[in-house]
Amino acid sequence: MRRIGIFGGTFDPVHLGHLRPALEILDALSLDQVRFIPTGMPPHRNMPVASAVLRLAMLKAALADESRFHVDEREITRTQPCYTVDTLAELRREYPGAALSLIVGMDAFLGFPAWHQWQRLFELAHVVVAHRPGWTFRNEGVLGEVVTPRLSASATELTRVESGCVLLQPVTQLEISATLVRDCIAAGRDPRYLVPAAVRDILIESKCYAKR
């Protein structure tokens, strides 16, 4: 069975807090690949600060040296808001029989009940939740009700079936966010070691986020 990770985000910009957890999850689940899907118009939040072209260029530069990481451009070119459930349904049609794992950070996961048709996400894919500093899952509310029966104790379960499991996955805790990177640049500081060197080069060259 093919095993595919799907990691959506604004990536405004991509940073090491995205890349290291994605790599650790790829290894823990023995995924064949992780598809990074930068969003065009996120339905749940403000429009990204950097242009789609620049976010895409930074993501490509960040992923260039890991052959199991792929940039998937299907959402970024759209002019309508994209819902994760629709993207997953599309991927499900493209990869019949594959185990699909939607990768999200804990903050995003806790916000699931506000997502369009969120309960369908579990029909279409597994959900792998990367621990993130400052965010904890509590088995309560509507999310707890839906998720608890689906919780998996180990990654192995996610390799046996195509969808439906939830895995809370410990990863190296990196308190880095795109907001932190943007604020750092806006304050005139160097984002070195928060982002890959190739992304830093683009940030310096483009002066993106420098003045807001």
Separation of alpha carbons 25 and 126, rounded Å: 13
Residue with smaller CB distance to ligand ATP, 99 or 112: 112
Residue with smaller CB distance to ligand ATP, 77 or 160: 77
Q: Does 130 bind ligand ATP (CB under 6 A)?
A: yes
CB of 167 to ligand ATP, least distance (A): 14
Q: Find the binding residues for ligand ATP in span 181-210 (CB under 6 A).
A: none
Q: How far is CA 128 from CA 24, 55, 163, 169, in A?
A: 12, 24, 11, 7
Contact predicate 192/201, CB 8 Å: no
The angle that helices 52-63 and 197-206 make with each other, rounded to 10 degrees, is: 150
Q: Does 24 bind ligand ATP (CB under 6 A)?
A: no
CB of 67 to ligand ATP, least distance (A): 21
Sign of the torsion formed by the C-alpha atoms of 7, 104, 153 and 146: negative
Q: Does 41 bind ligand ATP (CB under 6 A)?
A: no
Which residue of 6, 19, 21, 122 would you call a contact of ligand ATP, by CB under 6 A?
21
Separation of alpha carbons 156 and 40, rounded Å: 33
Q: Does 169 bind ligand ATP (CB under 6 A)?
A: no
Q: Does 17 bind ligand ATP (CB under 6 A)?
A: yes
Separation of alpha carbons 197 and 201, rounded Å: 6
Separation of alpha carbons 79 and 199, rounded Å: 25
Instruction: List the one residue out of 46, 43, 48, 44 whose CA is nearest residue 12.
Output: 48
Residue with smaller CB distance to ligand ATP, 160 or 192: 192
Q: Does 126 bind ligand ATP (CB under 6 A)?
A: no
Q: Does 174 bind ligand ATP (CB under 6 A)?
A: yes
Which residue of 37, 57, 61, 108 would you call a contact of ligand ATP, by CB under 6 A?
108
For 122-164, give the DSSP string.
Answer: HHH-EEEEE-BTTB---S-HHHHHHHGGGB-SSGGGGGTSSS-
Q: Which stretch binds ligand ATP (CB under 6 A): 26-34, 148-156, 173-181, 204-212?
A: 173-181
Q: Which residues bind ligand ATP (CB under 6 A)?
A: 9-12, 17-18, 21, 104-105, 107-108, 130, 132, 174, 176-179
